[in-house]
A = this chain, B = another copy of it.
Protein backbone atom coordinates (compact mmCIF):
# COMPACT_ATOMS: atom_id res chain seq x y z
CA UNK A 1 0.00 0.00 0.00
CA UNK A 2 1.92 3.01 -1.10
CA UNK A 3 0.73 6.18 0.52
CA UNK A 4 1.01 9.86 -0.01
CA UNK A 5 4.22 10.11 2.05
CA UNK A 6 5.95 7.70 -0.30
CA UNK A 7 5.04 9.83 -3.26
CA UNK A 8 6.10 13.00 -1.48
CA UNK A 9 9.46 11.52 -0.62
CA UNK A 10 10.12 10.28 -4.14
CA UNK A 11 9.07 13.59 -5.67
CA UNK A 12 10.98 15.58 -3.09
CA UNK A 13 8.01 17.67 -1.99
CA UNK A 14 5.59 17.80 0.92
CA UNK A 15 2.45 15.71 1.17
CA UNK A 16 0.42 18.87 0.87
CA UNK A 17 1.93 19.50 -2.53
CA UNK A 18 1.31 15.95 -3.64
CA UNK A 19 -2.28 16.29 -2.60
CA UNK A 20 -2.65 19.52 -4.53
CA UNK A 21 -0.87 18.31 -7.63
CA UNK A 22 -2.85 15.10 -7.84
CA UNK A 23 -6.14 16.88 -7.53
CA UNK A 24 -5.20 19.35 -10.22
CA UNK A 25 -5.35 22.42 -8.03
CA UNK A 26 -3.99 25.46 -9.86
CA UNK A 27 -1.54 26.47 -7.15
CA UNK A 28 1.17 24.08 -8.22
CA UNK A 29 3.97 24.88 -10.66
CA UNK A 30 4.06 22.90 -13.85
CA UNK A 31 7.45 21.43 -13.05
CA UNK A 32 6.41 20.28 -9.59
CA UNK A 33 3.21 18.81 -10.91
CA UNK A 34 5.14 16.82 -13.47
CA UNK A 35 7.46 15.40 -10.86
CA UNK A 36 4.58 14.49 -8.56
CA UNK A 37 2.62 12.80 -11.32
CA UNK A 38 5.67 10.85 -12.38
CA UNK A 39 6.33 9.72 -8.83
CA UNK A 40 2.71 8.70 -8.31
CA UNK A 41 2.72 6.82 -11.58
CA UNK A 42 5.94 5.06 -10.74
CA UNK A 43 4.66 3.96 -7.34
CA UNK A 44 1.21 3.06 -8.66
CA UNK A 45 -0.21 5.34 -6.07
CA UNK A 46 -3.95 5.58 -5.56
CA UNK A 47 -5.38 7.82 -2.89
CA UNK A 48 -7.27 6.21 -0.07
CA UNK A 49 -10.89 7.24 -0.49
CA UNK A 50 -11.58 6.85 3.22
CA UNK A 51 -8.77 9.12 4.26
CA UNK A 52 -9.56 11.64 1.58
CA UNK A 53 -13.20 11.70 2.54
CA UNK A 54 -12.52 12.04 6.21
CA UNK A 55 -10.05 14.87 5.74
CA UNK A 56 -11.82 16.58 2.88
CA UNK A 57 -15.37 16.28 4.05
CA UNK A 58 -16.78 15.02 0.78
CA UNK A 59 -17.43 11.47 -0.27
CA UNK A 60 -17.59 11.85 -4.06
CA UNK A 61 -20.40 9.34 -3.86
CA UNK A 62 -24.03 9.55 -4.89
CA UNK A 63 -26.82 7.32 -3.63
CA UNK A 64 -29.20 6.23 -6.39
CA UNK A 65 -32.52 4.90 -5.15
CA UNK A 66 -34.81 2.92 -7.44
CA UNK A 67 -37.90 0.79 -6.83
CA UNK A 68 -36.66 -2.12 -8.95
CA UNK A 69 -33.58 -2.10 -11.11
CA UNK A 70 -35.04 -4.90 -13.24
CA UNK A 71 -37.82 -2.75 -14.61
CA UNK A 72 -36.97 -1.20 -17.96
CA UNK A 73 -37.25 2.42 -16.99
CA UNK A 74 -35.18 2.19 -13.84
CA UNK A 75 -32.46 0.06 -15.35
CA UNK A 76 -32.12 2.42 -18.26
CA UNK A 77 -31.96 5.47 -16.03
CA UNK A 78 -29.37 3.89 -13.76
CA UNK A 79 -27.19 2.90 -16.68
CA UNK A 80 -27.05 6.48 -17.91
CA UNK A 81 -26.49 7.83 -14.42
CA UNK A 82 -23.67 5.38 -13.79
CA UNK A 83 -21.84 6.54 -16.88
CA UNK A 84 -22.18 10.20 -16.02
CA UNK A 85 -21.16 9.77 -12.40
CA UNK A 86 -18.11 7.65 -13.15
CA UNK A 87 -16.99 10.01 -15.89
CA UNK A 88 -16.94 12.72 -13.29
CA UNK A 89 -15.15 10.64 -10.71
CA UNK A 90 -18.13 9.82 -8.54
CA UNK A 91 -19.07 6.49 -7.05
CA UNK A 92 -22.60 5.16 -7.35
CA UNK A 93 -24.14 3.50 -4.32
CA UNK A 94 -27.15 1.50 -5.48
CA UNK A 95 -30.28 1.15 -3.38
CA UNK A 96 -32.94 -1.11 -4.84
CA UNK A 97 -36.05 -0.80 -2.70
CA UNK A 98 -37.62 -3.90 -4.23
CA UNK A 99 -40.93 -3.38 -2.54
CA UNK A 100 -39.47 -4.33 0.79
CA UNK A 101 -40.76 -1.99 3.42
CA UNK A 102 -37.85 -2.49 5.76
CA UNK A 103 -35.41 -1.59 3.00
CA UNK A 104 -37.35 1.52 2.39
CA UNK A 105 -37.18 2.38 6.06
CA UNK A 106 -33.50 1.71 6.24
CA UNK A 107 -32.72 3.89 3.28
CA UNK A 108 -35.21 6.64 3.67
CA UNK A 109 -35.61 6.99 7.40
CA UNK A 110 -32.38 6.07 9.07
CA UNK A 111 -29.23 8.06 8.98
CA UNK A 112 -27.66 5.48 6.72
CA UNK A 113 -27.20 7.97 3.90
CA UNK A 114 -25.79 10.49 6.27
CA UNK A 115 -22.02 11.01 5.97
CA UNK A 116 -22.04 8.28 3.33
CA UNK A 117 -22.92 10.24 0.22
CA UNK A 118 -22.75 13.81 -1.02
CA UNK A 119 -26.05 13.66 -2.80
CA UNK A 120 -29.10 11.54 -3.44
CA UNK A 121 -30.97 10.68 -6.61
CA UNK A 122 -34.47 9.37 -6.18
CA UNK A 123 -35.84 7.60 -9.24
CA UNK A 124 -39.54 6.87 -9.42
CA UNK A 125 -39.85 6.87 -5.68
CA UNK A 126 -42.58 9.07 -4.26
CA UNK A 127 -42.25 9.80 -0.59
CA UNK A 128 -44.54 9.89 2.38
CA UNK A 129 -44.58 12.86 4.74
CA UNK A 130 -42.29 11.20 7.28
CA UNK A 131 -39.76 10.38 4.60
CA UNK A 132 -39.81 13.91 3.27
CA UNK A 133 -39.13 15.24 6.73
CA UNK A 134 -36.29 12.84 7.18
CA UNK A 135 -34.65 13.67 3.86
CA UNK A 136 -34.96 17.36 4.55
CA UNK A 137 -33.27 16.81 7.90
CA UNK A 138 -30.36 15.11 6.21
CA UNK A 139 -29.65 18.38 4.47
CA UNK A 140 -28.22 16.65 1.42
CA UNK A 141 -28.56 17.93 -2.10
CA UNK A 142 -30.58 15.70 -4.35
CA UNK A 143 -32.58 15.31 -7.50
CA UNK A 144 -35.66 13.32 -8.35
CA UNK A 145 -36.40 11.57 -11.60
CA UNK A 146 -39.96 10.83 -12.48
CA UNK A 147 -41.01 10.66 -8.86
CA UNK A 148 -44.57 11.15 -7.83
CA UNK A 149 -43.68 13.57 -5.09
CA UNK A 150 -41.27 16.44 -5.08
CA UNK A 151 -38.67 16.97 -2.42
CA UNK A 152 -38.65 20.66 -1.50
CA UNK A 153 -35.62 22.37 -2.98
CA UNK A 154 -34.57 19.42 -5.12
CA UNK A 155 -34.55 19.67 -8.89
CA UNK A 156 -36.72 17.22 -10.77
CA UNK A 157 -36.44 15.65 -14.20
CA UNK A 158 -39.39 13.93 -15.79
CA UNK A 159 -41.80 13.79 -18.68
CA UNK A 160 -45.27 15.24 -18.81
CA UNK A 161 -47.16 12.10 -17.91
CA UNK A 162 -50.51 13.70 -18.42
CA UNK A 163 -49.61 14.84 -21.93
CA UNK A 164 -48.10 11.49 -22.83
CA UNK A 165 -51.31 9.73 -21.82
CA UNK A 166 -53.34 12.24 -23.75
CA UNK A 167 -51.24 11.64 -26.85
CA UNK A 168 -51.65 7.88 -26.60
CA UNK A 169 -55.39 8.10 -26.06
CA UNK A 170 -55.84 10.65 -28.80
CA UNK A 171 -54.02 8.37 -31.22
CA UNK A 172 -56.65 5.74 -30.54
CA UNK A 173 -59.44 8.28 -30.87
CA UNK A 174 -57.99 9.50 -34.15
CA UNK A 175 -58.08 5.97 -35.48
CA UNK A 176 -61.80 5.97 -34.78
CA UNK A 177 -61.95 4.12 -31.48
CA UNK A 178 -64.63 5.12 -29.00
CA UNK A 179 -64.62 2.20 -26.61
CA UNK A 180 -61.14 2.62 -25.15
CA UNK A 181 -60.03 0.81 -22.01
CA UNK A 182 -57.26 1.82 -19.65
CA UNK A 183 -55.07 -0.51 -17.62
CA UNK A 184 -52.59 0.76 -15.06
CA UNK A 185 -50.67 0.14 -11.88
CA UNK A 186 -51.85 -0.06 -8.33
CA UNK A 187 -52.73 3.47 -7.22
CA UNK A 188 -51.98 2.57 -3.63
CA UNK A 189 -48.49 1.35 -4.33
CA UNK A 190 -46.16 3.92 -2.90
CA UNK A 191 -43.30 3.26 -5.27
CA UNK A 192 -44.49 4.81 -8.47
CA UNK A 193 -47.31 7.16 -9.08
CA UNK A 194 -46.88 8.37 -12.64
CA UNK A 195 -49.90 6.32 -13.57
CA UNK A 196 -52.19 8.66 -11.66
CA UNK A 197 -51.28 11.43 -14.07
CA UNK A 198 -51.59 9.04 -16.94
CA UNK A 199 -55.12 8.13 -15.95
CA UNK A 200 -56.04 11.79 -15.86
CA UNK A 201 -54.59 12.27 -19.34
CA UNK A 202 -56.64 9.34 -20.59
CA UNK A 203 -59.82 10.71 -19.09
CA UNK A 204 -59.17 14.21 -20.37
CA UNK A 205 -58.61 12.99 -23.89
CA UNK A 206 -61.82 11.01 -23.79
CA UNK A 207 -63.80 13.95 -22.47
CA UNK A 208 -62.36 16.24 -25.13
CA UNK A 209 -63.77 13.80 -27.64
CA UNK A 210 -67.15 13.91 -25.95
CA UNK A 211 -66.80 10.52 -24.31
CA UNK A 212 -67.60 9.93 -20.66
CA UNK A 213 -64.95 7.65 -19.13
CA UNK A 214 -66.49 4.29 -18.29
CA UNK A 215 -65.19 2.99 -14.95
CA UNK A 216 -65.77 -0.59 -16.05
CA UNK A 217 -63.14 -0.04 -18.75
CA UNK A 218 -60.52 1.12 -16.28
CA UNK A 219 -58.65 -1.67 -14.51
CA UNK A 220 -55.88 -1.45 -11.95
CA UNK A 221 -53.26 -4.07 -11.30
CA UNK A 222 -49.53 -4.29 -10.71
CA UNK A 223 -47.24 -2.07 -12.74
CA UNK A 224 -45.68 -5.08 -14.47
CA UNK A 225 -46.19 -7.35 -17.43
CA UNK A 226 -48.00 -9.85 -15.25
CA UNK A 227 -50.15 -7.04 -13.97
CA UNK A 228 -51.04 -6.09 -17.53
CA UNK A 229 -51.95 -9.64 -18.28
CA UNK A 230 -54.21 -9.92 -15.24
CA UNK A 231 -55.82 -6.55 -15.78
CA UNK A 232 -56.69 -7.47 -19.33
CA UNK A 233 -58.06 -10.84 -18.34
CA UNK A 234 -60.31 -9.10 -15.85
CA UNK A 235 -61.28 -6.49 -18.40
CA UNK A 236 -62.37 -9.17 -20.83
CA UNK A 237 -64.29 -10.94 -18.11
CA UNK A 238 -66.36 -7.82 -17.51
CA UNK A 239 -68.26 -8.18 -20.75
CA UNK A 240 -68.01 -6.78 -24.24
CA UNK A 241 -64.33 -6.13 -24.95
CA UNK A 242 -63.10 -2.64 -25.80
CA UNK A 243 -61.83 -1.97 -29.33
CA UNK A 244 -58.64 -0.49 -27.93
CA UNK A 245 -56.54 -0.54 -24.78
CA UNK A 246 -54.32 2.22 -23.52
CA UNK A 247 -51.80 0.74 -21.10
CA UNK A 248 -50.00 3.09 -18.71
CA UNK A 249 -46.66 1.46 -19.56
CA UNK A 250 -45.22 -0.78 -22.22
CA UNK A 251 -44.73 -3.55 -19.69
CA UNK A 252 -48.45 -3.43 -18.92
CA UNK A 253 -49.14 -3.33 -22.66
CA UNK A 254 -47.06 -6.47 -23.20
CA UNK A 255 -49.17 -8.23 -20.62
CA UNK A 256 -52.25 -7.05 -22.47
CA UNK A 257 -50.93 -8.48 -25.74
CA UNK A 258 -50.52 -11.78 -24.01
CA UNK A 259 -53.98 -11.81 -22.48
CA UNK A 260 -55.62 -10.82 -25.76
CA UNK A 261 -53.83 -13.56 -27.61
CA UNK A 262 -54.86 -16.00 -24.91
CA UNK A 263 -58.47 -14.93 -25.40
CA UNK A 264 -58.26 -15.48 -29.13
CA UNK A 265 -58.39 -11.80 -29.98
CA UNK A 266 -56.07 -10.47 -32.68
CA UNK A 267 -54.03 -7.29 -32.35
CA UNK A 268 -54.69 -4.88 -33.98
CA UNK A 269 -57.57 -6.37 -36.00
CA UNK A 270 -59.81 -7.03 -32.99
CA UNK A 271 -58.23 -4.83 -30.37
CA UNK A 272 -55.62 -2.08 -30.64
CA UNK A 273 -53.03 -1.66 -27.90
CA UNK A 274 -50.76 1.25 -27.08
CA UNK A 275 -48.41 1.84 -24.14
CA UNK A 276 -46.00 4.43 -22.83
CA UNK A 277 -42.20 4.09 -22.67
CA UNK A 278 -40.72 2.63 -25.83
CA UNK A 279 -39.31 -0.28 -23.90
CA UNK A 280 -36.35 -2.10 -25.44
CA UNK A 281 -38.63 -4.85 -26.64
CA UNK A 282 -41.46 -2.73 -27.94
CA UNK A 283 -39.91 -2.49 -31.39
CA UNK A 284 -39.54 -6.24 -31.54
CA UNK A 285 -43.11 -6.72 -30.43
CA UNK A 286 -44.47 -4.17 -32.86
CA UNK A 287 -46.02 -2.29 -29.99
CA UNK A 288 -47.22 1.25 -30.61
CA UNK A 289 -46.25 3.56 -27.80
CA UNK A 290 -45.47 7.05 -26.61
CA UNK A 291 -41.70 7.03 -26.25
CA UNK A 292 -40.03 8.67 -23.29
CA UNK A 293 -36.29 9.36 -23.11
CA UNK A 294 -35.27 7.31 -20.09
CA UNK A 295 -31.50 7.43 -20.49
CA UNK A 296 -31.68 11.12 -21.23
CA UNK A 297 -33.58 11.74 -18.01
CA UNK A 298 -30.91 9.91 -16.07
CA UNK A 299 -28.05 11.70 -17.76
CA UNK A 300 -29.63 15.07 -17.28
CA UNK A 301 -30.45 14.44 -13.64
CA UNK A 302 -26.87 13.39 -12.97
CA UNK A 303 -25.52 16.49 -14.63
CA UNK A 304 -27.83 18.73 -12.69
CA UNK A 305 -26.78 17.05 -9.49
CA UNK A 306 -23.09 17.43 -10.20
CA UNK A 307 -23.36 20.88 -11.65
CA UNK A 308 -21.72 23.09 -9.06
CA UNK A 309 -24.15 25.86 -9.88
CA UNK A 310 -27.07 23.53 -9.57
CA UNK A 311 -26.84 20.61 -7.23
CA UNK A 312 -23.77 21.92 -5.47
CA UNK A 313 -23.17 18.38 -4.32
CA UNK A 314 -19.48 18.61 -4.78
CA UNK A 315 -18.41 21.97 -3.69
CA UNK A 316 -17.06 22.01 -0.21
CA UNK A 317 -20.12 23.08 1.65
CA UNK A 318 -19.96 26.55 3.07
CA UNK A 319 -20.31 26.55 6.81
CA UNK A 320 -23.93 26.28 7.75
CA UNK A 321 -24.84 24.03 4.87
CA UNK A 322 -25.72 24.77 1.27
CA UNK A 323 -27.07 28.15 0.47
CA UNK A 324 -30.85 28.05 0.41
CA UNK A 325 -32.28 27.95 -3.07
CA UNK A 326 -34.52 30.67 -4.29
CA UNK A 327 -37.38 28.76 -5.77
CA UNK A 328 -38.40 31.82 -7.71
CA UNK A 329 -35.23 32.23 -9.73
CA UNK A 330 -33.31 28.97 -9.56
CA UNK A 331 -34.11 27.11 -12.78
CA UNK A 332 -33.14 23.86 -11.18
CA UNK A 333 -35.99 23.71 -8.79
CA UNK A 334 -38.60 24.03 -11.48
CA UNK A 335 -39.15 20.60 -13.03
CA UNK A 336 -37.25 19.84 -16.19
CA UNK A 337 -39.77 18.27 -18.54
CA UNK A 338 -38.43 16.15 -21.39
CA UNK A 339 -40.46 15.59 -24.54
CA UNK A 340 -42.26 12.39 -25.50
CA UNK A 341 -43.07 11.17 -28.97
CA UNK A 342 -45.79 9.01 -30.50
CA UNK A 343 -44.39 5.88 -32.14
CA UNK A 344 -46.90 4.02 -34.24
CA UNK A 345 -46.13 0.39 -34.94
CA UNK A 346 -48.31 -2.63 -35.63
CA UNK A 347 -50.45 -2.83 -32.54
CA UNK A 348 -52.82 0.00 -33.35
CA UNK A 349 -55.27 0.26 -36.25
CA UNK A 350 -58.80 1.49 -36.90
CA UNK A 351 -61.54 -0.55 -35.25
CA UNK A 352 -63.32 -3.16 -37.32
CA UNK A 353 -66.15 -1.69 -39.31
CA UNK A 354 -68.87 -3.84 -37.78
A residues adjacent to B (C-beta < 8 A): 1, 44-51, 53-54, 59, 64, 68-70, 72, 75-76, 78-79, 82-83, 86, 91-96, 98, 100, 103, 106, 110-112, 114-116, 225-226, 229, 254-255, 257-258, 261, 280-281, 283-286
Contact = CB atoms under 8 A, between A and B. Distances in A.
B225 A44 contact: no
A270 B214 CA distance: 42
Contacts of A78: 69, 94, 96
B285 A258 contact: yes
Given A51-B54, A82-B95, A92-B94, 4 more contacts: A47-B115, A83-B98, A86-B103, A226-B284
A284 B252 CA distance: 11
Contact of A46 (B54, B68, B72, B110): B110
Given A50-B53, A112-B46, A284-B255, A70 B59 contact: no
B69 A82 contact: yes
Contact of A96 (B83, B114, B258): B83
A52 to B, nearest CB: 8
A158 to B, nearest CB: 20
A1 B115 contact: yes
Contacts of A44: 111
Which of A47, A254, A284 has most B Cβ within 10 Å?
A: A284
Contacts of A110: 46
B59 A69 contact: no
A157 B79 CA distance: 24
Contacts of A47: 115
Contacts of A283: 258
A59 B47 CA distance: 14
14 contacts: A46-B114, A48-B115, A49-B59, A50-B50, A50-B115, A68-B79, A78-B96, A82-B98, A83-B103, A91-B93, A93-B93, A94-B94, A226-B284, A254-B284
Contacts of A281: 225, 254, 281
